[in-house]
Structure 1
């Protein structure tokens, strides 16, 4: 067998990775001093990669709005990064949401990730308040009335769990873009074909805004399976088998997770994708490793190589 391999030449897997990509990173707001320290460390580790923006999520039912604002303002004022705040329709009136948006603008935040949001409590469904925003499209329009925010919205390659069908889901995305959103960031997925089909379907109905794939490195297998079940994201059978038993071996899990996510990104890159959004779960190591394999280097290293050339 070894003799048959003698003389064969294969290019190194990441030889062509030139780093000509743009990335963004998503964090969740800390709820404790230890969490705040972990987030600070994560931001500091990823900042040298020069993300075009970083965002901070808002919990179900709008439960972390104040934590989100604190984290976003801290990143914006204490780092050179462009920080975006997640803002949802849930659990607040239009006036309350508008006031929060104005406070972001006054604090120098120019980018909002506008989402309908999830209600609190498992199994509960979103019910628009009579004095609230009816959904993400209405929220986008409301934010644009408050100030000229850059607005990102969500997209669902495998269809939102509450959508009647794909056509209805695409119509909802079109209305969000038409209301003024600059780009859509997708829910995570594990098949490049899934993203490409969705991108083609969106283009076919006239959606010409940037659609950025959301990448979830598998930091915890059980947690990833729960997330996938909640949003009805498919885990391919081959991947499901591959993940079995890895939570008991964290170091091996991280190696496998980085390999899987980098291969997915490489397939997306081959299909013309140059922007990637990473769901970091407030862990820097996996996202950093994936970016490194894709050829992205800390800005100061890139500058030094340019000066030496």
Structure 2
């Protein structure tokens, strides 16, 4: 099933993101985590891969397993950094033949060891280029990324919204946001997008805070601002992982319930391949808000 078809019968969707494990132990852990999360009956799952296409093969293998062995609607992340038309065509055929009909199309990060993007002579230099090319095939449901606080490379949010409109006009069927910690950013962003004529579903993406230093690194890389009240809540306990975990879970529950109460069309959880936090959050949500 295509994710856009879910929207016709589901006013809210709840989805989880994984990445392919790199070690045997990580593979075992992922299997346990996936099993726990599948009991929550997610609307769909997504699987990422590393910068520059690294771990793409294991990502596709994991998608194949989740889609065809576990029967969960699965969405493949796919990036155009360094990609040729021939490579894109080959990968699209591979995914489609394995009944993976949902894609998250992104520009992607530079390959490891490369700090800046190199111009792609094949014309795939932006996420909108990839969306336009793949949407012409009329085979896939296409998701794209959105940035409530603006992409780190955009001059300002207004410019970033114009780029977002290009992706939607090119054929994106829905959007999933980068993480954020202040829900006002999300709702202001949605309102501005609507005024520009962006009318597709915009699903908020959240990440549970389970490690204070880690979340600070993520925020710096993504440009997401961590509100001062969150710093104040976490900083005194940064050397107490169990306390950080509980505070982070409580904050994520509050954020999720506020999003749903104010009309968000569901939540996309960045799990970091850890099930316990996501299970604890989802199990604690006010169930009146999840239907």
TM-score (norm 2): 0.91
For the residue of structure 1 that corresponds to 2:77, the secondary structure is: strand
For the pair shown, the structure with the greater C-alpha radius of gyration is: 1
Instruction: Please give the alpha-carbon distance, in whole angstroms, between the structure 2 residues aligned to 1:296 and 1:103.
Output: 38
Instruction: Please give the alpha-carbon distance, in whole angstroms, between the structure 1 residues aligned to 2:287 and 2:163.
Output: 34
* Residues 137-146 or 183-192, more deviating: 137-146
Structure 2 matches for 1:232-243, cutoff 5 A?
A: 232-243=223-234
Kept in 1: contact 2:146–2:178 (CA 8 A): yes
Cross-structure match for 2:125: 134
Cross-structure match for 1:117: 108
Instruction: Please give the alpha-carbon distance, in whole angstroms, between the structure 1 residues aligned to 2:200 and 2:154.
Output: 21
- How far apart are residue 121 of structure 1 and its match? 4.2
* Residues 201-210 or 43-52, more deviating: 43-52
- Structure 1 residue runs of 4+, over 4 Å off? none
For the residue of structure 2 that corresponds to 1:167, the secondary structure is: helix
Kept in 2: contact 1:42–1:284 (CA 8 A): yes
Cross-structure match for 1:5: none
For the residue of structure 1 that corresponds to 2:96, the secondary structure is: helix
Instruction: Please give the alpha-carbon distance, in whole angstroms, between the structure 1 residues aligned to 2:190 and 2:235.
Output: 31
Kept in 2: contact 1:92–1:132 (CA 8 A): no
Instruction: Please give the alpha-carbon distance, in whole angstroms, between the structure 2 residues aligned to 1:77 and 1:34.
Output: 23
Kept in 1: contact 2:257–2:286 (CA 8 A): no
Q: Residue by residue, what CA displacement relative to the aligned partner does 1:1-45 show, whole Å, maximum 9, x if unpaired?
A: xxxxxxxxxxxxxxxxxxx84200001111122122211111111
TM-score (norm 1): 0.86
5+ residue gaps, structure 1, are 1-19, 303-309
The answer to whether residue 222 in structure 2 is matched with residue 255 in structure 1 is no
Cross-structure match for 2:72: 81
Over the aligned positions, Cα root-mean-square deviation in angstroms equals 1.9
Kept in 2: contact 1:29–1:68 (CA 8 A): yes
Q: Residue by residue, what CA displacement relative to the aligned partner does 1:121-152 show, whole Å, maximum 9, x if unpaired?
A: 47823233102512111111222234520111
Structure 2 matches for 1:1-309, cutoff 5 A?
A: 21-121=12-112, 124-296=115-287
